[in-house]
Amino acid sequence: MYVGGAFTQIGRKNRNNIAALDRSTGRATKWNPDAYSKVNTIAVNGRIIYAGGEFRYIGGQSRSYLAALDSVTGAATNWNPHPYDHVKTLVVSGNSIFVGGDFTDIGEQRRYKIAEIDAFTGKVTNWNIQLYNGLSRNEIIKSSVFAIAVDGNSVYAGGYFDSIGGRIRNNIAALDACTGQATDWNPDANGTVLTLAVLGNVVYVGGEFGQISDQIRKNIAALNVSTGLATNWNPEADRTVMTLTVSGNTVYVGGDFFIIGGQNRNQIAALDTSTGLATNWNPNSNGSIRTLALNGSIVYAGGYFTDIGGKNRRNIAALHVKTGLATSWDPSANSRVLTIAVSGKNVYAGGQFDSIGRQSRNHIAALDATTGQATNWDPNSNGTVYAIGINKDLVYVAGNFTKIGDKWQLGVGSLNAVTGLATTWLTNTTGFYRDFKSVYAIAISGNTVYLGGNFTITRRSFAAISTSNNMISAP
C-alpha cells in the first residue's frame, strides 16, 4: 500500500512524505524514495509508481513535482516531464498519464493545469483541452458546467466558461461524443447557461443571458441543432430560467421569473413549442423552481416554495399535466429540493433537506410515487445533492458531498437502486477528482456518465467517465 502526504514518520519508520506500508502489519517496508516535500497524489502502474506533489527531489534524483519510481528500489527512473508548478492529481489510463495541478508548462510545452504524458517517454502528447481561455483568476475559479444534454453523437454543455473542447466557446457548446472536441456549433451566449434540453432538431436553453446566437433572447431560447442559430421562438423571461423539460408540443420551465411567454407566470410555466406563448397551465408557485421532471400525466417540481398548484406544498410537489393543480402527493421537504428523477414506482429527490417523506433523510431520498412517503432507501449523503441520473438498477448522484451510500465519494458516485449502498464506481481512484467544489450536472448515455461542475480531475469542470471501468473517455 503506497501513501503520500506531509509526514516524516509512518509505519514505525522514518519516511519523508512517501512510503509503502505492509497491508498486514501496517509497518513501513524498505521502499524509501525520500521525497523532500509534500506528495499529493500517487498512481500505480505495474512496476512503476507515479508520484506528484510539491517536491523538487525524490528517489535519489532531482525531480520537480512529478516522478516515476521503481516499485522495488524506490529510485526515480529517467521519466521526467518536469512540470513548472505543483502537481495535485494524476491517473493512469493505458499508455497515458493524465496530470492536473497548478502548472502552466510541462515537458517544455504550454499546458494550462492539465496534460497527458506518454507513460514510456515522458513526452507531452498533443492532447490539449482547456475549459477557459481569457478569464481572470477569480473567474477561472468560478468557471463551471451547469447543464449537460446528450443527443446522438453530440454532447451539449452549458455553464460559465469561455473555452471548452479546445475551442473558444462562450457558455454553451456542442462536443463530439467520441473525441470530446468542440464542434462548429457555436451559439455564443453572453451569460450563464443553466439548463438544456434537446427535442428533435431544437436545443432549448435557459439561464441568465440577454443574447445568444447574435439574437436578443432574454434568459430562454431555442437553437437549431445543426447550425446553432436561434429560431424565432422567443418567450422572453424577465428573470432567470433554471430548469426546463420538453414533451410533445410543450416546454415546461421553472426559475425565478414572473413574466414569460407574454403572460404573468410565477416561477413556473408551460410554453407552446411553436409560438413561445405561455399556455393556460399555471401552477403559480410562491417561490423559486429549481428542477422539473415529467412522468406521464404528472409534472414533478422541486425548489424553495410553500404554495404551488393551489395547495400548500413544501419544496416538492406533483402537478397535473393538464390543469397545473397539485395532486394529493405531498412528501414535504424541510429545505430546498434541487433535483428530481423518476424511475418506476420511485421518485428520487436530492437537495439540501434532512427531512422528506415523513422521514429523516439527508440530502437524498426515494419517495413512493403513490403515497409520497420515503422508502427504506437511505444513502445518507453528508452534503448537498445537485443532480441524479438513473441507469437500469443504478442511481448516479452528483453534488458536493464527501460521503454517500456508506462510502467516501467526492462529489459523484453510484448507488444501488435497491439497497442505497454505494458501488465501487470511482471509489478506488485516488486523486482522480480530488480538487473539486461541486458537481452540478449529470447525464448518462449508454456506458458513459457525463459530469459537469466546478472541479479539477483529469478534466476541468467537464468529464466523461465509463460506467464499467472508471476510466475517462477520449478528451
Average the pLDDT over each of 124-128, 160-164, 308-312, 420-424 and give the range with the smallest value.
124-128
Q: Which residues pair with 93 in a beta bridge?
A: 96
Question: Residue 24: pLDDT above 60?
Answer: yes
pLDDT grade for 408, boundaries at 50, 70 and 90:
confident
- For residue 138, give the 3-state DSSP assignment: helix
Average confidence (pLDDT) over 277-286? 98
pLDDT grade for 223, boundaries at 50, 70 and 90:
very high
pLDDT digits 0-9 by tens, 150-168: 898 898 999 888 888 888 8
Question: Residue 70: pLDDT above 90?
Answer: yes
Structure confidence at residue 461 (pLDDT):
65
pLDDT grade for 456, boundaries at 50, 70 and 90:
low
pLDDT grade for 106, boundaries at 50, 70 and 90:
confident
**CA separation for the pair 11, 26 (Å, rounded):** 6
Quick one: residue 215, left, alpha or beta (phi over 0 = left, psi -120 to 50 = alpha)? beta
Q: Say if residues 108 and 83 touch (Cβ distance below 8 Å).
A: no
Nearest to 277 by CA among 264, 294, 287: 264
pLDDT digits 0-9 by tens, 185-201: 999 999 999 999 999 99
pLDDT grade for 427, boundaries at 50, 70 and 90:
low
Average confidence (pLDDT) over 91-99? 80
Query: What domains does the chain contain, in order, with CATH numbers?
Result: 2-118 (2.130.10.10), 137-466 (2.130.10.10)
pTM of the predicted model as reported, rounded to 2 decimal places:
0.71
Structure confidence at residue 140 (pLDDT):
39
For 139-162, letters b (16+ CB in 10 Å) and e give ebeebbbbbbbbbeebbbbbbbbb
**CA separation for the pair 253, 236 (Å, rounded):** 12
Structure confidence at residue 146 (pLDDT):
87
Structure confidence at residue 112 (pLDDT):
66
Structure confidence at residue 428 (pLDDT):
43
Question: Residue 116: pLDDT above 90?
Answer: no
